[in-house]
Amino acid sequence: MLRMTEQTHMPKIFVTRKFADSGIKALKAKGYKIEVYAEDKIIPRKTLLEKAKGCDALLPLLTDKIDDGVFDAAGPQLKIVANYAVGFDNVDLAAAKKRGIVVTNTPSDKVNEAVAEHTFALMLALARRIPEADRFAKAKKYAGWSPTLLTGTDLYGKTLGIVGAGRIGSAVAQRAVGGFGMKLIYSDMRQNVDLERKFKAEYMSMEKLLQTADFVSLHVPLLPSTRHLISTAEFSMMKKTAFLVNTARGPVVDEKALLRALRTKRIAGAGIDVFECEPAIDCDMTDTLELKTYDNVILTPHIASATIEAREAMGMVAAENIIAVLEGKEPLNPAK
């Protein structure tokens, strides 16, 4: 009878916060050793470093900074960081590449649709002053119909300027043109011929887009080139009747410049799902939250992709990337 001379290595995976069950179940079905951080909050840095030790795979969230310190703590056997997010600005890609560690993200059609829907929810709520009207009615201020009560603006016939015409930007475009009869203009690093053909979109410079659009919707990743993409100069180009919507990444908008634009009524309002200094709002650690004081500003707490369907899809994509890499295959969604 043959005797085992060495124990088969069972890959160890650490997940920094509990998410939809399907992805975890897929990893457990492979027999991997899975540990999930028990508390529903951002994992403390010290705990992350401790839990990363000896792992073959890490599955972090966008709130977790994954850098040399984490890679050192994990050890040389770490093969993949499967980021549970469409973006990956929380991961040091250069440090990972230097060590031969694969980094992946979790784009999916479900995420694209969820973010596009939330973008339109913000646009509609801004245009028709929905949160303001809700507060008005609940405060028992409604005394009867009036032709001037809480009048808003139409979406139909208005011009939507999309900044970043990738998958999510294209999903927003589909809703704008097909659902609301909006005119479509866009700005990106390169032309999107398919977008132009499908939706009669017009490609133009960022400056011209800002000068033309009634609604400006941001759909770019956070890169050095997109940090503070919208700042004082850009707000000065926008129409005073225009609205800004950001469901991309917080630092794409200079929040101090946004506050100045709101104070001076340089723009008509803003719908903000992501914040420059998350979780702080308007980078104000003293919690005075000036952004909260404007009726023409709608704030949501980074929930654009927060649908059951999108979260399940993200978990499965992360799990499938881990399985592929641990089995010596190419990942589905390598971050570049």
Percent of the chain with pLDDT over 70: 96
Q: Note if 278 is an active site residue.
A: yes
pLDDT band at 1 (very low <50, low <70, confident <90, very high): very low
Q: Could you say which of 3.40.50.720, 3.30.1150.10, 3.30.9.10, 3.60.20.10 is the CATH number of the domain covering 109-299?
A: 3.40.50.720
Mean pLDDT value of segment 170-193: 96
Q: What pLDDT score was predicted for residue 112?
A: 95
The answer on pLDDT for 125 being more than 90 is: yes
Tell me the per-residue pLDDT of 156-174, one tens digit each, with 9 for 90 and over: 999 999 999 999 999 999 9
Q: Above 90 in pLDDT, residue 336?
A: no
Query: For residue 8, is pLDDT > 70?
Result: no
pLDDT at residue 281, as a whole number: 86
Per annotation, catalytic residue among 117, 196, 278, 290: 278
Q: How many other C-beta atoms are found inside a 10 Å radius of the C-beta of residue 90?
A: 17
Q: What is the DSSP string of 125-164?
A: HHHTTHHHHHHHHHTT---S--TTTT-----TTPEEEEE-
Residue 4 has pLDDT above 70, yes or no: no
> Residue 21: which pLDDT band, with cuts at 50, 70 and 90?
confident
- Structural domain boundaries in the chain: 12-105+309-326, 109-299
Mean pLDDT of 72-82: 97
Average pLDDT, the chain: 93
Catalytic, 302? Answer yes
Tell me if residue 9 is catalytic.
Answer: no
pLDDT for 86 equals 87
Determine which one of 132, 196, 302, 312 is catalytic. 302
CB neighbours (10 Å) of residue 234? 21
**Could you tell me which residues are beta bridge partners of residue 202?**
185
CATH number of this structure's domain 12-105+309-326, picked from the four choices 3.40.30.10, 3.40.50.720, 3.30.2020.30, 3.30.70.141 = 3.40.50.720
The pLDDT tens digits for 267-292 are: 999 999 999 998 888 887 666 688 98
Asked if domains 12-105+309-326 and 109-299 share a fold, the reply is yes
Residue 95 predicted with pLDDT over 70: yes
**pLDDT score at 207:** 98
DSSP state of 293: G
Instruction: Read off the pLDDT of each residue in 175-186 and give the average, rounded to a whole number.
Output: 97
pLDDT tens digits, residue range 128-160? 999 999 999 999 999 999 999 999 999 999 999
Q: How far, CA to CA in Å, does 18 sit from each of 37, 54, 100, 269?
A: 7, 20, 27, 35
The catalytic residue among 17, 129, 219, 249 is 249
pLDDT of 28 reads: 93
Distance CA 29, CA 51 (A): 22
Task: Give the per-residue pLDDT at 5.
Answer: 39
Model pLDDT, residue 35: 96
What's the rounded mean pLDDT across residues 48-73? 96
Banded pLDDT at 3 (limits 50, 70, 90): very low
Instruction: State residue 287's pLDDT score.
Output: 62
Contact by Cβ (8 Å): 88, 95: no
